[in-house]
């Protein structure tokens, strides 16, 4: 079993547009198998409490993120995939990853509100510190803390069979440690693809009644990774950014347009999970293979913020295989 980690990281504005390509499927860096679920009903849970946001508001936003993928239609209105999602309710569990010996694995969305590296979060000398290779998230799971790049905004971990590509578990962690001002604010009747339509952009991390790092925007993108999609390399950095695909590797403070799917996102969903037909096992030629190491041009650095920064989504595939 192998684990892929897809992180939402921070990069400076002005990243160059990449060559035109359509949706991208996540693939194992070594075997090149494409990742997919065999089930058409993915169950998920949301970890509670969330310290700094009303749980009900976050729950509603995350539910809507899943609903968006469920409701996906082509430009002609065709409901081309029968992928569905079931919310199994809130949970106090905060552990990510897949235990092949367990019967209680869950697909989790969890907001990490502490950094594992902060003083006092992980006691000095805790064995989990020495176990980063076999169990890279041992401290994170033990102490419910963020163990990834501090500049990453969110991160999806997928466990899958390296020979078949079948996904057995996927978990979304959100970096709610204070670097990003997550919000769920929306004006009634907003159009996420119309900049400013859902509310003004927050000016600071204490600003209220505004849109900061939008939870629904962020999680809708991460669910694309849960489904086995990688980063879109085209239809990004367009003149009209509201037309960018949800799976584009960038977002901004105040961004809501990733709440809705672009036709290319829907094409990716329906290519993997065509309605009434088995999942497709690999990508059409021409789609790039996601490789290990941070995605090119997306060096992560700096504090979050309210500067003119954009988000990039770095892709990291851990090389270590988890022997089952
Ligand atoms: Zn991503």
pLDDT at 133: 67
Number of structural domains, the chain?
1
Mean per-residue pLDDT over the chain, rounded: 80
Distance 172 CA to ligand 1 centre (A): 11
pLDDT at 312: 29
CA distance 15 to 10: 11
- Pairing mode, strands 154-160 and 309-312: unpaired
What distances in angstroms separate CA 147 from CA 118, 158, 174, one per listed residue? 10, 16, 11
Give the CATH number for residue 99: 3.40.390.10
Percent of the chain with pLDDT over 70: 79
Distance 124 CA to ligand 1 centre (A): 32
Joined together, the tokens standing for residue 104 give: 């209680």
DSSP output for 153-170: SEEEEEEE-TTT-BEEEE
pLDDT at 14: 31
Give tens-digit pLDDT for 86-122: 999 999 999 998 888 889 999 999 999 999 999 999 9
Distance 126 CA to ligand 1 centre (A): 31
Distance 311 CA to ligand 1 centre (A): 10
pLDDT at 87: 98
pLDDT at 234: 80
What distances in angstroms separate CA 228 from CA 163, 174, 223, 289, one per listed residue? 15, 18, 9, 12
Distance 247 CA to ligand 1 centre (A): 6
pLDDT band of residue 227 (cuts 50, 70, 90) is: very high
Q: Which domain holds residue 122?
A: 2-321
Distance 323 CA to ligand 1 centre (A): 26
Distance 120 CA to ligand 1 centre (A): 30
Distance 231 CA to ligand 1 centre (A): 6
Closest by Cα among 231, 235, 311, 4 to 136: 4
For the beta carbon of residue 237, count every other beta carbon within 10 angstroms: 16
- Say how far residue 224 (Cα) sits from the centre of its chain: 7
Distance 222 CA to ligand 1 centre (A): 6
Mean pLDDT of 40-45: 98
Give tens-digit pLDDT for 68-92: 999 999 999 999 999 999 999 999 9
């Amino acid at each position: 079993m192998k684990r892929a980690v897809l992180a939402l990281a921070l990069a400076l504005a002005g990243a160059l547009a990449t060559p035109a390509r359509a949706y991208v499927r996540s693939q194992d860096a070594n075997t090149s198998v494409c990742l997919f679920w065999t089930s058409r009903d993915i169950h998920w849970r949301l970890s509670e409490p969330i310290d700094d946001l009303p749980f009900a508001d976050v729950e509603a936003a995350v539910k809507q993120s899943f609903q968006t993928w469920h409701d996906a239609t082509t430009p002609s209105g065709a409901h081309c995939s029968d992928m569905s999602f079931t919310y199994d309710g809130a949970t106090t569990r905060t552990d990510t990853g897949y235990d092949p010996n367990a019967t209680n694995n869950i697909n989790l969305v969890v907001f990490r509100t502490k950094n594992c590296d902060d003083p006092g979060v992980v006691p000095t000398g805790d064995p989990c510190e020495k176990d980063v290779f076999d169990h890279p998230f041992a401290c994170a799971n033990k102490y419910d803390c963020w163990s990834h790049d501090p500049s990453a905004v969110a991160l999806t971990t997928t466990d899958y069979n390296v020979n078949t590509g079948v996904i057995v578990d996927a978990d979304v962690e959100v970096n709610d440690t204070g670097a990003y001002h997550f919000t769920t604010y929306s004006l009634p009747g907003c159009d996420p693809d119309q900049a400013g339509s859902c509310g003004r952009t927050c000016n600071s991390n204490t600003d209220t009644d505004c849109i900061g790092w939008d939870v629904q925007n962020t999680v809708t993108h991460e669910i694309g990774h849960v489904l086995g999609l990688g980063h879109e390399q085209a239809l990004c950095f367009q003149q009209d950014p509201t037309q960018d695909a949800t799976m584009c590797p960038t977002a901004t403070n105040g961004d809501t347009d990733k709440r809705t799917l672009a036709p290319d996102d829907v094409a990716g969903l329906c290519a993997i999970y065509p309605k009434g037909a088995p999942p497709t096992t690999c990508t059409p030629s021409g789609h790039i293979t996601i490789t290990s190491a941070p995605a090119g041009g997306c060096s992560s650095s700096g504090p979050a913020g309210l500067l003119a920064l954009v988000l990039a989504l770095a892709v990291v595939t851990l090389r270590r295989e988890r022997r089952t």
